[in-house]
Amino acid sequence: MNDDKTIVAQGARPVLDIRDFSVELRSGKTISPIVDKVNFEVHEGRTLGIVGESGCGKSMLSLGIMKLVPSPPACIAGGKVLLDGTDLVPCSEREMQEVRGNRISMIFQEPMTSLNPVYTVGFQIIEALRAHSSLTSAQARSRAIDLLREVGISNPEKRVEEYPHRLSGGMRQRVMIAIALACNPRVLIADEPTTALDVTIQAQILDLMRSLKSDSGTAIILISHDLGVIAEMADDVVVMYAGRIIEQAPVHSLFAAPSHPYTQGLLGSMPTVDGDQERLQPIPGTVPPPHDRPHGCAFHPRCKLSDETCRTQRPPLEEKISGHKVACWHTGLGARP
């Protein structure tokens, strides 16, 4: 949330640059876009938050960056994923194995099931280390113990021999973070990392991620549907709806002046501490499924501002004020009086 840092970072080359990236779902002859021409950048030592309801394509986007979308039925339909300037989309599976867990790592929503129950925690960290380095097993073991210590697990010499079922959800998520950080990745993608955890544990995990970011300079993509988490953690925010980015802004600008009716709706459906709202304002309806996206602006059936233009023409994502982009006929740059 500090502006001078934003300006510095904007001059530098982004660690990860996503351009016109699309993921499609193909079943039989129907092709449904799940992620539709998405553009964003992530800079070193910064956190990009991606927000949206379930089904908006957040997880598919993150799996797509890793080229781990379940294929078939999903496939990457186009665009570029530039990691330090190199495009990952045309890379072979073997080249991607070099990238995964090494230069881009990922942690997932379900700490209870994301670790293999039949191997020890230590084995699973060592496996990640040895996949990308020539460490001996003794070196890898001592590095695994160091990593466990770094992510705040007490008595790591003992924990390294434990099986996942002996650890709590928070501990397992710490182990997942240790695995993700094993090879000092350039980018860490965290897909709802705290959703399955208790609130107190949530805060601990977020603290941990924040301190790791400032220590290592790793760029973080934080996917969440929890605006509180995003406000706390992110430097920049992307709001997704039905596979597209509908608003993109630095975090303070987004929360101070949400422009898209959907973003406004998301903020309006969140309880505030001072509680001057009488009731929470839910957004009516649900995210349309990928095979049945409406014409024009995908949000129009749920939007109270919608008119004929919204129903027929898709609004472009345009910069409204410096750094703040929005895709809406009514509140965007091209808004008619």
Q: How far is CA 207 from CA 175, 194, 203, 278, in A?
A: 15, 11, 6, 32
Among 45, 75, 82, 102, binds another protein (CB under 8 A): 102
Among 32, 37, 55, 97, binds another protein (CB under 8 A): 97
End-to-end CA distance of the chain: 32
Q: Is 58 in the site for another protein (CB under 8 A)?
A: no
Among 105, 202, 248, 306, binds another protein (CB under 8 A): 105
Among 27, 30, 54, 116, binds another protein (CB under 8 A): 116
Contact 231, 60 (CB under 8 A): no
CB of 248 to another protein, least distance (A): 26
Contact 23, 69 (CB under 8 A): yes
Among 163, 216, 257, 270, binds another protein (CB under 8 A): 163
Q: Is 176 in the site for another protein (CB under 8 A)?
A: yes
Task: Give exposure, 115-127, as e/b (b: 16+ Cβ within 10 Å).
Answer: beeeebbbebbbb
Q: Is 166 in the site for another protein (CB under 8 A)?
A: yes
Q: How far is CA 274 from CA 27, 277, 302, in A?
A: 48, 8, 28
Q: Is 132 in the site for another protein (CB under 8 A)?
A: yes
Q: Is 257 in the site for another protein (CB under 8 A)?
A: no
Contact 209, 233 (CB under 8 A): yes
Distance CA 152, CA 199 (A): 17
Distance CA 298, CA 289 (A): 11
Three-point CA angle 286, 191, 241, nearest 5°: 30
User: Total number of residues binding another protein (CB under 8 A)?
Assistant: 30
Q: Is 110 in the site for another protein (CB under 8 A)?
A: yes
Q: Is 297 in the site for another protein (CB under 8 A)?
A: no
Distance CA 137, CA 123 (A): 10
Q: Is 81 in the site for another protein (CB under 8 A)?
A: no
Among 33, 49, 101, 122, binds another protein (CB under 8 A): 101
Q: Is 106 in the site for another protein (CB under 8 A)?
A: yes
CB of 275 to another protein, least distance (A): 38
Where on the chain is the footprint of another protein (CB under 8 A)?
66, 68, 93-94, 96-102, 105-106, 108, 110, 113-118, 127-128, 131-132, 163, 165-166, 176, 179
